[in-house]
Amino acid sequence: MIFISEIGLNYNGNIGLAYELIRQSKYSGADIVKFQLGWRAAKEDINHIDFDMLSNLKKWADFFEIELMFSIFNEEAYDLISMFSFSKYKIASRTLVDNFDLVKKIVDKGMDTYISLGMWTDSELPFVGYDNVHYLWCKSLYPTTPWDMLDLPKDFIHSQYSGYSDHSIGIDLPLLAIARGATIIEKHFTLDKSDTTIRDHALSATPEEYLCMTQIGKEIYKKMRLGI
């Protein structure tokens, strides 16, 4: 069972807040903490991550013993992250649609690659026969309401999806996905859901919520493995 704490842009361009979000993600039971590389990344923009900042994020994640992962949005982001040694990559469905050749290049590296399929409309999977590719079911609405989620897979075990990338308010839908066989959960993480700097704060989990989700989710997963 893998829990990905999606910080994304929720650090609000504040490097000190990024440190605290990594720390709290670890304390909240996340296995992986994730940022976005190449999205809103101009020098004056909120998510400008250069070599030095990326080095700090890696150092801090190593210190708190939590794995660091990035969503790769463009060639410049890929060139930057290639200067480091990462074992996993994330691909947003937007990148899959807008820059398929880049995604193919990343997948062909053979590293574990998690791909959200929220914006993918083709009936066929983008990559078949790759053991390193793990697909996440996703609804690309921010936030999703219960009425948007009526097509959440009823059985992840026998589906093409390994897990669920969540944009809902609360933690109940990630837990429902685990009960249906999802083994990877990606959930946005925040210290303040009322923060309006980035829209994602509202659909994120606080440390208390995230810890509750990981604790209950791991128990559900273990009981399912027993055959209950």
Q: Around 225, how many Cα atoms within 13 Å sit in the side-chain half-sphere?
A: 9
Question: What domains can be seen in the chain, in order of their start residue?
Answer: 2-226 (3.20.20.70)
Sort strands 112-116 and 133-138 into parallel, antiparallel or unpaired.
parallel
pTM of the model: 0.97
174: preceding bond cis by omega (within 30 degrees): no
Q: What is the pLDDT of residues 15-51, one digit of tens each?
A: 999 999 999 999 999 999 999 999 999 999 999 999 9
Nearest to 205, CA basis, from 167, 178, 176, 179: 167
Containing H/E element for 101? helix 100-107
Quote the percentage of the chain above a pLDDT of 70. 100
pLDDT in tens, 90-147: 999 999 999 999 999 999 999 999 999 999 999 999 999 999 999 999 999 999 999 9
The percent of residues above 90 in pLDDT, for the chain, comes to 100
- Residue for token digits 């990462």? 86
